[in-house]
Structure 1
Amino acid sequence: MSSVSAAHARVLSGMRPTGRLHLGHYHGVLKNWLELQHEYDCFFFVADWHALTTDYEQPGNIPQASWEMVIDWLAAGINAGSATIFVQSRVPEHAELHLLLSMITPLGWLERVPTYKDQQEKLKEKDLATYGFLGYPLLQSADILMYRAGLVPVGEDQVAHVEMTREIARRFNHIYGREADFEEQAEQAVRKMGKKNARLFSDLRRSYQEQGDQEALGVARALLETQANLTLGDRERLFGYLEGGGRVILPEPKPLLTKASKMPGLDGQKMSKSYGNTIGLRDDPAEIEKKLRTMPTDPQRVRRTDPGDPEVCPVWQFHQVYSDEARRDWVQEGCRSASIGCIECKRPVIDAVLAELEPIQNHARELEQQPELVRSILNDGCDHARDVARETMAEVRHAMSLTQT
């Protein structure tokens, strides 16, 4: 079985702590999270252990970077009442699941992850010949499977990581999901549903297994979701029993493809701190205006009277993010005919960026003055995440015969 349908209502996503965030983070990740938190049961986490896979020699800035990042999440609108916000290292079960999954994960699966060699090439100045770096995709899998997340928002370059997580879940369920008394326990669980529902479930199961009736499968899944008398283990056991397999301990997640961020840097490249081309969410408004006023334009447009080409101008990329169709037409015509100057062209972008960031910055200032509130949000989120993680690990330990007798 591929997944437990109830799990698809849960989303998990995280960020490495890099300190204060910039517009690239906001348009590339946070705006997507803002929508997801109202549609799904979302778990958003600070991936501080992941930061150690590349920055293990200088971990001192990770706590402050994590703090600043969480403030930006909250200031941007991530709501602790709608999503669980937590820190990875404060849920030690992640490390335990990572360890246990490493016992069954073929080495070749890790070596073939596309980003493994890519990152080694990009970070040549660092010694990444470590197990931690090789195993970071498996730690990502543990992060996802810990919460039985059904959907993982990723860009196209991260789909391979989710696919590997699916393979690991499939392998784990194949090895450990077939209990010796599986069918007996499944039938006991069916009886807990009451006579009427038990009979309906059995009829639907027979229709699916004997006739391949997909509609019956869907109805049976929905029926299981409504059964308050079933434990989590019973429900997952019956999902497997329904499809003719074993018990589903770790459901397989699916990638939720996100649109690539269109937020460029000040020089037209991808916005990145390493390029020094960012606009921070909490940059001073005067600094933001200065950055935008002095950003490069079409190099062929030397004088105000020279016609330009918006397609080769970084400012045009900002208009594509912030301007409506009428404004973009004004830019195209005015630049090509030299009827507007570059500073004039930049003004609407400056105004739009400042307007977008004003409420975020106001909220951030409030949060900076209320550190106890931020700590409380994190403490509550970590407690909830750990409760969910403990449930998962109880199931995993039982399946792997690691429970005390």
Structure 2
Amino acid sequence: MTHIVLTGDRPTGPLHLGHYVGSLRNRLLLQAQYRQFVMIADTQALTDNMGQLARVHRSVLEVALDYLAVGLDPARSTLFIQSQVPELAELAFYLLNLVSVARLERNPTVKEEIRLRGFERDLPAGFLAYPVSQAADIAAFRATLVPVGADQQPMIEQTNELVRRFNAATGSAALVSEHGRLPGIDGSGKMSKSQGNALNLGADADEIRAAVQRMYTDPGHLRVADPGRVEGNVVFAYLDAFDPDTAAVAELKDHYRRGGLGDMVLKRRLEAILQETLAPIRARRAEHAADPAEVMRLLAAGSAQARETAAKTLDAVRGALGLRYF
């Protein structure tokens, strides 16, 4: 089956290792196999960032730089800005009429995000309607494969539910990263820009070293000779995600559990791997950052291509709704 892939990120700051493990690595593989649309979701970012417009605007370029730095190729992936494809907003408005407020409030992902942000009833309507916007994006490009984190699967289910109600099922499926969420370097939940526990893709050598040194291990592992816990140990989580020698990592885990393996040995190994991984990304990012006008030109071209595709879907939707008057 030839898939159409839709994926993207909200521009609220530079991307970090969590994005790399959770989706960016998958996108590099997918762009070699399928037609892929990669969206900088600035419209969706406004649902909880209306008071930080400058941050969103600035981050559009930051996210684009990270895309190019990791190897997303505009010749193979259509990179575009959501707000520059107004057909998506119109399609979302039509889909809003197929879902109740109660159904949106039951969406587990939305419920959790509302809790984390402390919105309670002071909730922007646009944020509550986030799943509908996402459904419109997926339907507009007739995407059949949507790389997401495990926590986003309810969004895909709701997309298919909405589209089925419109009698034009796309059969979209979620592609979940095998590594799932990458924990923050402090061990407190997932890596997040807002929590200050992230390591950005453009981090320099000193920042990488400092981040690894801060990483949470096992507080009960006080002496090298002591047995240590692998579960919940952030360093091992990162080794699982980045170390290509899985057999060596398995042996390190066994050794750590038995005792006799110090945290600094693990951290030195991890730092070397991250330095090697991020050095070429950092170099490519700096190269593209030297010509921001060219980056924006690439986004403009990609947005025009995306709009052409979305317009065809919207035209079919208008026809189905009887909204072609002229």
**TM, length-normalised to structure 2:** 0.90
Q: Distance in 2 between matches of 1:158 and 1:327?
A: 29
CA contact (8 A) 1:93 1:393 kept: yes
Matched, 1:10 2:4: yes
The alignment covers a number of residue pairs equal to 322
| Corresponding residue of 2:50 | 56
* Displacement of 1:327: 4.7
Residues 34, 130 of structure 1: alpha-carbon distance in 2 compared, 3 angstrom cutoff: same
Matched, 1:341 2:262: yes
> Which deviates the most, 349-358 or 390-399?
390-399
| Corresponding residue of 2:206 | 286
CA contact (8 A) 1:84 1:385 kept: yes
CA contact (8 A) 2:228 2:256 kept: no
| Corresponding residue of 1:362 | 283
Amino acid at match of 2:63: M
- Please give the per-residue CA displacement for 1:212-234, whole angstroms capped at 9, x wherever unaligned: xxxxxxxxxxxxxxxxxxxxxxx
Matched, 1:31 2:25: yes
Q: Distance in 2 between matches of 1:275 and 1:46?
A: 22
| Corresponding residue of 1:318 | 238
| Corresponding residue of 1:400 | 321
Q: Distance in 2 between matches of 1:264 and 1:294?
A: 13
Q: Distance in 1 between matches of 2:146 and 2:23?
A: 12
Amino acid at match of 2:115: E
* Displacement of 1:404: 2.8
Q: Distance in 2 between matches of 1:333 and 1:348?
A: 15
* Displacement of 1:40: 1.2
Matched, 1:66 2:41: no
Q: Distance in 2 between matches of 1:100 and 1:126?
A: 26
| Corresponding residue of 2:161 | 167
* Displacement of 1:261: 2.5
Amino acid at match of 1:293: Q
Q: Distance in 1 between matches of 2:210 and 2:165?
A: 55
**Residue aligned with 1:275, SS:** coil
Bigger Cα Rg: 1
Amino acid at match of 1:140: Q
Q: Distance in 1 between matches of 2:56 and 2:120?
A: 17
Alignment of 1:214-233 (within 5 A): none
Matched, 1:384 2:305: yes
**Residue aligned with 2:194, SS:** helix
CA contact (8 A) 2:179 2:241 kept: no
Matched, 1:136 2:57: no
| Corresponding residue of 2:90 | 96
* Displacement of 1:130: 2.8
Matched, 1:84 2:5: no
Q: Once the two structures are aligned, what percentage of the paired residues are identical? A: 37
**TM, length-normalised to structure 1:** 0.73
Matched, 1:40 2:48: no
Matched, 1:329 2:248: no
Q: Distance in 2 between matches of 1:28 and 1:280?
A: 14
CA contact (8 A) 1:320 1:328 kept: no
- Please give the per-residue CA displacement for 1:168-215, whole angstroms capped at 9, x wherever unaligned: 222222xxxxxxxxxxxxxxxxxxxxxxxxxxxxxxxxxxxxxxxxxx
Q: Distance in 2 between matches of 1:151 and 1:322?
A: 25
Residues 347, 136 of structure 1: alpha-carbon distance in 2 compared, 3 angstrom cutoff: same
* Displacement of 1:363: 0.5
- Superposed CA RMSD: 2.3
**Residue aligned with 2:230, SS:** helix
Residues 309, 135 of structure 1: alpha-carbon distance in 2 compared, 3 angstrom cutoff: same
Residues 161, 139 of structure 1: alpha-carbon distance in 2 compared, 3 angstrom cutoff: same
